[in-house]
Chains A and B, each alone.
Chain A
Amino acid sequence: MKILVPVKRVIDPYVNIRVKSDQTGVETENVKMSMNPFCEIAVEEAIRIKEAGKAEEIIAVSIGNQSCQETIRTALAMGADRGIHVLTEERVEPISVAKILAKICESESPGLIISGKQAIDGDNNQTGQMLAALTDMPQGTFASKIEIDGEKVKVTREIDGGLQTVNLNMPAIITTDLRLNEPRYASLPNIMKAKKKPIDQKSPEDFGINVSPRVNILKVIEPPKRQAGIKVESIEELVEKLKSEAGVI
């Protein structure tokens, strides 16, 4: 079985986000970029499934500008076998990403696609579900546990009220939540080895997909700043303030 893992390059989660003064977006020049943390969890899970002898090959796919090659290399260094880079300078919306991935699924026929539940830049939480729709595959979103059993995969999902378990026919799509695993760091020898692993370069046109955005970003602004309040010296003072000043208890 092959496992397909889409990986996205995003601003590192620990970087302070700065909104551009012309309100067109956020500053990305000279900003540290990383693999989206949920995608890292997806790569890790694919590797564990392969290590357990349940998959033969892991393919990492990234869609975006030339730098996405680095993100694919990170996945290869962690343990993915080969990469596909779909080169485009456009801002690619989840629906377009899903369409390209659906085409790749047609040619690669993976048994599982494991993606992150959301990218921490756009916070959209859409791509996996959309890919499932376009390929008519079942979906196990927000996964905290995955168990493959023959032609089916059992997925434990993190839902608002607790946990839910579903059984999906394979091929299936799974999106990762935080508790699925703790991703490994790539070792130096593996980083070196990853340099020799193949990355196939494609363009959206190769798949016949028009990735022009359908949603225009009219303006991006900073959120209103919350002012720091006061420090209280004791619980007694805190309770007094909450009662008489804030009126919330």
Chain B
Amino acid sequence: MTTLFYIEHNNGKISDQSLKAITATTNIEGDVHGLIVGSNISDAVAEASKISGLNKLLHVDDEAFDNVLAEKLTQVMLNVANDYDYFLAAATTTGKNVMPRLAAKLDVSQISEIVSVESADTFIRTIYAGNAIATVQTTDAKKVLTVRPTAFKAATTDSAECEVVNITAENIPSISEFIGEELTKSDRPELTSAKTIISGGRGMQNGENFELLDKVAEKLGAAVGASRAAVDAGFVPNDYQVGQTGKVVAPELYIAVGISGAIQHLAGMKDSKVIVAINKDEEAPIFDVADYGLVADLFQVLPELEQAL
């Protein structure tokens, strides 16, 4: 058995999401090969080659992969697919974009966002916004899986360097074109890797008021997140959204401010170690999952919280 794992990177660093997801391969027998793409990424390649458990690293050193498009990356994996039994990636927007395309090309029924590897063909994943947990067994010979990073501990990157092999990208289709990216700039840690998160909901009333959260986040070294309602209303960009259809997070501390606690929001944060809820409605469902609840007006207590830290 051999596994191909797609490794994401940005700004010369391996993505924390990939480092967590690759840990799922420790329960799969056989060698693990990494795949990394992009030109001028020697730092990322060097770091990737030292990921614990990795036996070999394939590198596509090609400008065409400086921005990853599903049509192109799928073809790269297809070109080497005969050599592999398992294909894995983190369930990021890139993993979710690419892996089903690969699965269909291989005529495989993909298993999405696994949280556990039970055996060679059996995996656990959540369905219905985390309201049910399914154990599923695939009958496909080749397996294509995406992995929910929060369910795994990050692999270390201090092993001896593994072999790095440059591969060329052949038969790459040109049916799509990258135009540009508008990435949200922030001095705060990334939502999915932050140890502490403070999120705001509709109760924040507008985008300017998110500054109240920023100030607390600054003191705590926390990331700032949001509910769907806050994103839909335009208070904050889409990449702040925590939930069933946004990001899944599991920090040490999650502080929900002015968020009611709809099931779709809980799906993205209920595995946090400690949950704090600040809401003026004592009946809000968020209090059912909160370790510490404070029934209060957020506009009064957020400045107090900032002061107290």
B126 cross-chain contacts in A, Cβ below 8 A: 123, 223
> B150 interface residue, CB < 8 Å from A?
no
Q: Is the CB of A223 within 8 A of B122?
A: no
Q: Is the CB of A11 within 8 A of B101?
A: no
> A188 interface residue, CB < 8 Å from B?
no
A248 cross-chain contacts in B, Cβ below 8 A: 196, 252-253, 273-274
Q: A139-B71, A162-B237, A179-B231 are in contact. Are A220 and B176 (CB under 8 A)?
A: no
> A242 interface residue, CB < 8 Å from B?
yes
Q: Is the CB of A166 within 8 A of B69?
A: yes
B130 cross-chain contacts in A, Cβ below 8 A: 223
> A216 interface residue, CB < 8 Å from B?
yes
A52 cross-chain contacts in B, Cβ below 8 A: none
Q: Is the CB of A235 within 8 A of B175?
A: no
Q: Is the CB of B131 within 8 A of A138?
A: no
> B295 interface residue, CB < 8 Å from A?
yes
Q: Among B92, B122, B289, B290, which residue has its beta carbon within 8 angstroms of that of A218?
A: B122
Q: How long is the Cα–Cα vector from A133 to B245 in the complex, in angstroms?
A: 23
Q: Is the CB of A228 within 8 A of B287?
A: yes
Q: How long is the Cα–Cα vector from A123 to B10 in the complex, in angstroms?
A: 27
How does the 8 Å CB contact mask read for A8-34 relative to B, with 1 for contact and 0 for none? 000101001101000001100000000
Pick out which of these stretches binds chain B: A56-64, A65-73, A90-98, A105-113: A90-98
| B interface, over-half SS | mixed
Q: How long is the Cα–Cα vector from A145 to B109 in the complex, in angstroms?
A: 29
> B244 interface residue, CB < 8 Å from A?
yes
| A interface, over-half SS | mixed
Q: Is the CB of B179 within 8 A of A159?
A: no
What's the least CB distance linking B101 to chain A, in Å? 4
User: Would you list which residues of chain B between 233 and 278 have a CB under 8 Å from chain A?
Assistant: 237-239, 241, 244-245, 247, 252-253, 263-264, 270, 273-276
B102 cross-chain contacts in A, Cβ below 8 A: 133
Q: How long is the Cα–Cα vector from A242 to B173 in the complex, in angstroms?
A: 53
Which of A38, A134, A216, A242 has the most CB atoms of chain B within a 10 A radius of its CB? A242
Pick out which of these stretches binds chain A: B30-38, B55-63, B156-164, B301-309: B301-309
How does the 8 Å CB contact mask read for B211-233 relative to A, with 1 for contact and 0 for none? 00000000010000000100110
What's the least CB distance linking A147 to chain B, in Å? 11
Q: Is the CB of B244 within 8 A of A139?
A: no
> A55 interface residue, CB < 8 Å from B?
no
Q: Is the CB of B292 within 8 A of A232?
A: yes
Q: Among A121, A231, A241, which residue has its beta carbon within 8 angstroms of that of B128?
A: A121
Q: Is the CB of A162 within 8 A of B128?
A: no
Q: A95-B109, A160-B239, A235-B294 are in contact. Are A126 and B100 (CB under 8 A)?
A: yes
User: Would you list which residues of chain A between 163 and 186 have a CB under 8 Å from chain B?
Assistant: 163-169, 177-179
User: Would you list which residues of chain B between 143 and 164 have a CB under 8 Å from chain A?
Assistant: none
B109 cross-chain contacts in A, Cβ below 8 A: 93-95, 213-215
Residue of B whose beta carbon sits closest to that of A241 = B292
How does the 8 Å CB contact mask read for A103-147 relative to B, with 1 for contact and 0 for none? 000000000000001101111111111111110111111101000
Residue of A whose beta carbon sits closest to that of B140 = A214
A218 cross-chain contacts in B, Cβ below 8 A: 122, 135-137
Residue of A whose beta carbon sits closest to that of B295 = A231
Q: How long is the Cα–Cα vector from A62 to B50 in the complex, in angstroms?
A: 48
What's the least CB distance linking A15 to chain B, in Å? 10
Q: Is the CB of A236 within 8 A of B308?
A: yes
Pick out which of these stretches binds chain A: B20-28, B81-89, B181-189: B181-189
What's the least CB distance linking B192 to chain A, in Å? 7
What's the least CB distance linking B201 to chain A, in Å? 15
Q: Is the CB of A162 within 8 A of B179?
A: no
Q: Is the CB of A118 within 8 A of B245?
A: yes
Q: A11-B128, A218-B135, A229-B293 are in contact. Are A139 and B140 (CB under 8 A)?
A: no
Task: Give 5 closest A-B pairs by Cβ, nearest first.
Answer: A229-B291, A130-B104, A133-B104, A129-B100, A17-B131
Supply 5 further A-B pairs (C-beta < 8 A) apart from A139-B101, A248-B252: A26-B132, A129-B100, A139-B71, A142-B93, A246-B274
Residues of A with Cβ closer than 8 Å to B?
A: 11, 13, 16-17, 19, 25-26, 38, 93-95, 98, 117-118, 120-134, 136-142, 144, 154, 157-169, 177-179, 213-223, 226, 228-236, 238-239, 241-242, 246, 248-249
* A-B pairs with beta carbons under 8 Å apart, 5 shown: A122-B127, A133-B74, A162-B239, A166-B179, A219-B134
